[in-house]
A and B are shown apart, each in its own frame.
Chain A
Amino acid sequence: EAGVTQSPTHLIKTRGQQATLRCSPISGHTSVYWYQQALGLGLQFLLWYDEGEERNRGNFPPRFSGRQFPNYSSELNVNALELEDSALYLCASRPGTASYEQYFGPGTRLTVT
């Protein structure tokens, strides 16, 4: 069974640009979570999607947004990039709200210069 996949592996952008990160959950998983892991900090919850809808959002500005597609894959968009947005962005999927385990992808390393 294929795990959670994320693309790209690395992304380099300049300040002010937009970044788009993609996540494909494990087949059959309907929930997708996004996290930011900056150097020296723990995982910070960004967004949670389930069945195509945004269910919850962390304490991030509106320039962090995303969506979930009918096939349950997801996209995270970060507009007006700032230097402090440089981090590892992790996606996790869950079979549904009845399950507790989250399965993480390898992450996308975003570098903003």
Chain B
Amino acid sequence: DAKTTQPNSMESNEEEPVHLPCNHSTISGTDYIHWYRQLPSQGPEYVIHGLTSNVNNRMASLAIAEDRKSSTLILHRATLRDAAVYYCILTGDAGNNRKLIWGLGTSLAVNP
């Protein structure tokens, strides 16, 4: 199963953009890139996912490299509520019963 590599921690200032990187050099052609985040004392929550094209939703944007070996989660204007652990994971297509591998994620601190 393909794995992802993320920095252990990052820091940002409130209202500034944040770019959270993820490397997945062994990604296969059918793997989707998912991002979840986990706020303190809560279960993870879905942020965004994509396959090949860049994606935008109300929470964030996902930029996927052309070779798909890396991706970047973009928070356009960080708020204090965005302080969380961000997980980048790879999954098979929705109908595939792949085992989901979660790393330690990136702990994002947001300074007021």
Residues of A whose CB lies within 8 Å of any CB of B are 4, 33, 35, 41-45, 48, 50, 55-56, 58, 90, 92, 97-107
Contact = CB atoms under 8 A, between A and B. Distances in A.
A105 B41 CA distance: 11
Given A41-B104, A42-B104, A98-B94, A104 B43 contact: yes
B98 A56 contact: yes
Nearest to B101: A45
Given A45-B101, A97-B94, A97-B95, 9 more contacts: A33-B100, A42-B103, A45-B100, A48-B97, A98-B94, A101-B46, A102-B46, A104-B42, A104-B43
Interface residues of B, number: 22
17 contacts: A33-B100, A43-B44, A43-B87, A43-B102, A45-B100, A50-B97, A56-B98, A56-B99, A90-B44, A92-B43, A92-B44, A97-B94, A98-B95, A100-B91, A104-B42, A104-B45, A106-B43
